[in-house]
Chains A and B, each alone.
Chain A
Amino acid sequence: MATVSAMTPAKTGFREILSRPAVGLAVAILYVVVAVLFVFMLDRRSLWYPLASLVIAPIFLLSPLVVASLSMPRIARIVLLVVMFAVVMPVVGISNPPYLELAVQISIFAGLALGLNIVVGFAGLLDLGYVAFFAVGAYLWGMATSPSETIFTENAWTVSYWASNPDLSPLAAGFVAFVQSGAFFFVMFIGIAAAGLVGVLLGLPVLRLRGDYLAIVTLGFGEVIRIFARNLDSPINFTNGAQGLRNIAAPPLPGFYISFTESIASVLGLRVDNPAVLAKQLLFYTIGLVLLFVIILVCFRLKDSVIGRAWTAIREDEIAAIAMGVPLVRMKLLAFASGAAFAGAIGVLYAAKQTFIDPQSFILLQSITILAMVIVGGMGNVKGVVLGAMIITLVELHTLPNLSLQLNALRNAGQLNIPTQLDPAKYQPLVFGFVLVLMMLFRPAGLLPEKSRRLELMERNEDDELPKEEPISDAVLVDGSVPQE
């Protein structure tokens, strides 16, 4: 666990008070309660609803990170997080479905950013075509279930065909049962394997490249995958070309999700028109959260393992790493493969959630968006990358659209007249461009920098004031205990 105070030494009294476990716990609970109250206070008919929601959604959605950052007893943290994820989030999500959608998207993109973080942050290989692996997973599930007229539907090879035409032969019936229960997760594993394989295939030719050349080749690779997705509708229709795959199936919905949704809605006094839709969102929320949790766990374990240290060595100095006996080829391929594998799994989830994918979902901007998450959060730092994914996803899917909605509402109310060409939602690339440039100029190590990278980037600018060795007794661990000598 990183120390909070090592980053900003506990000099002020405020921080010192905050670092006490009891205070931390109290502040965390207070924060969560206030955030939830804010969400319930939102009035959807108000003229200023988009602006209010724009402020409150980040406050609410960042609360798990606040809980994870404040110092408190470990048990309290775990209990609080479980309560947040299992109770608070679903309840708020049912009363305010867009927030549930945001939570799902955040878990999807945080997982993607963590996968890219393995390649860029851990191993230092700049990959600008990361979205290609995401596309592999998404197309896998899309082709397996979409009713679009691909070769798979024509030959009745799709999962949905098997599910809707239960044959009489026992083998087929057994297969149908399997498809209805677990095909999604099965395909997810295939997605992991397929994307990992594609990652190795990309990794092999670019092993010798580094830095900017690698970036350009991976960018080209991402485009190649997209061009294939767009053009593989003839002579044999695999991907349905530019029209994309529609009506992609969702994993089967367990019955208790619907009853849970209905009972929560009735407790809150809400009228839910179609509980199945909301319940499906809850299902995606669960899958996304579990997937993200697994990815975070794998990232932490990888980082501290032999493999993770080999990656760090490669990132810092390739030649020195070879000299120290790091198996360069294997480690680089492993970095590409594991980063790609995460993207493959999440691609399957993404296709199921969006129910529609086309080549436009996997353009360069998407790769850059994921890269921006890694950079904003802090390359190499797992917690930072999750924070970066939250911020960027919120900006992309909530802040900018809500600004547009607000301007629209004001325009319709006749209070403000801004030309529609300046609609903020259209300027997402501009905002991300500025984010990238400003971050690189003023905070190249990210919001929550990884320790070694912070030192590396700071010693260039502040030669005279190299970070001094902190006296260890000043440092307080995140969970509030004073480290033992």
Chain B
Amino acid sequence: MSSESLSPRQGGLLDPLIQSEAWQRFSHTGFYRFIVFPIGQIIVFIVAATVFLTALAYLVALLIPEPRPNIVLSDQISRQLPGMVISGISIGFVYAMVALGYTLVYGVLKFINFAHSEIFMFGSVIGFAFMNFLSSAGVLADWNPVVLVIATILISGIASGLLAVLIERVAYKPLRNAPRLVPLITAIGISFILQDVVRALASITINDFNLTYPTRNIAFFQNPIPVVIGTNEVRVRMTSIIIVIAAVIMLLALNYFVNGTKAGRGIRAISMDQATSGLMGIPVNLMISLTFFIGGAFGGAAGALFGLNVGNVTPYIGFIPGLKAFTAAVLGGIGNITGALLGGLLIGMIEAFLNGLLPYFPAIGIRYTDIITFGILIAVLIFRPSGLLGERVDEKV
């Protein structure tokens, strides 16, 4: 969502429109830069990912028309398409929000925050703790669901953000000038510590570390909403809608923060050149802490939304979503905020399509979905290490 991409290219179809004075004036208003443009971008990404994957799926259907006797793959695709797209979008936004944490920290410190997946886990556990507290106080059902969701997101986001800042202060800041492998190893250590501390707390307080969200019993979250698309009816889960709405709002806020505020400008400056921005009077340490806070808050909020969606979390849920979000960040181009969004949506969609269609291939089956994500990660790193939207960076000697 960087503003550079606003600059029009010459010779495009839309040239007359873009060069018109009204458009020029409109494109410089805050309404366009912070509301219309990012939403448009999200819609374009969703449509592009959907079209791309649908085309791919039909291509597979052309090559293998009947993966199993009496099952025509193309029929299955058209029947399942709306459901797959919707679940892909909702899980994709979760990945995108987690990927933002990787990408923001990478942009500023050029370092992969390996412990971010555990921040995500922490957010989901905090969300559980909050709801469990309300539930044991007997007031959970009385709260307005919308207020409940907002409060959960805020609480788990802020708690996770603070945890991320704490981790940065304790484990990364003293090592800022050390060889690159050193903070990576501390990050691995931190993630094991977080898993075990959460497990210890959970098993001491409620004697179980398999945490089931108490929203299971609330009709608002559980009853699916039927949506009729064409001839088939799709049941959309309320939690999916909540994820999409919350994620879009948070992404708009992030876009405004990074591109529209002074602090955001500071963060962008540091990501370009840390030493020089320090000389220019930008409080580097504060900005880095802020970056960790925002990344952590997004990861934690995504964790709470994820927990709300799947209904059951453990101290070990962070690893796989974290790795997928990392793949998303790399796919989009690590360090690039728009790229994280695109990558997250793509990975979410790919996962939803695989989950929807792989069961028709008995030889492969759904068990290998994770391997395919790793395959994408390795393929991206080999063939386009700068990602889809990243710039090619030459190796500095």
Contact = CB atoms under 8 A, between A and B. Distances in A.
Given A371-B185, A440-B175, A429 B381 contact: no
A433 B192 contact: yes
Interface of chain B: mostly helix, strand, loop or mixed: helix
A457 interface: yes
Nearest to B207: A421
B396 to A, nearest CB: 9
Interface residues of B, number: 48
Contact of A235 (B171, B175, B362): B362
19 contacts: A124-B181, A208-B385, A209-B385, A213-B385, A216-B323, A227-B368, A368-B188, A371-B188, A419-B204, A421-B203, A432-B192, A433-B190, A436-B188, A437-B171, A437-B189, A437-B193, A440-B182, A456-B179, A460-B177
Contacts of A124: 181
Contacts of A414: none
A208 B177 CA distance: 24
Interface of chain A: mostly helix, strand, loop or mixed: helix
Interface string B230-258: 00000000000000000000000000000
B73 interface: no
A422 interface: yes
Nearest to A120: B181
Interface in B362-380: 362-363, 365, 367-368, 370-371, 374, 377-378
Interface string B186-207: 1011111101110010011001
Contacts of A433: 188-193, 196
B89 interface: no
Interface residues of A, number: 48
Given A434-B193, A436-B189, A437-B186, A422 B200 contact: yes
A5 interface: no
A282 to B, nearest CB: 35
Interface string B94-126: 000000000000000001101000000000000
A383 B305 CA distance: 49
Nearest to A208: B382
A356 interface: no
A217 B381 contact: yes
A434 B367 CA distance: 34
A213 B381 contact: yes
Given A216-B326, A223-B374, A430 B180 contact: no
Contact of B370 (A223, A432, A437): A223
B178 interface: yes
Interface in B164-182: 171, 174-175, 177-182
A221 interface: yes
B397 interface: yes
B185 A440 contact: yes
A227 B175 contact: no
- From B181, B365, B371, B374, name the one whose CB has the most chain A CB atoms within 10 angstroms: B181
Contact of A319 (B174, B186, B397): B397
A66 B374 CA distance: 45
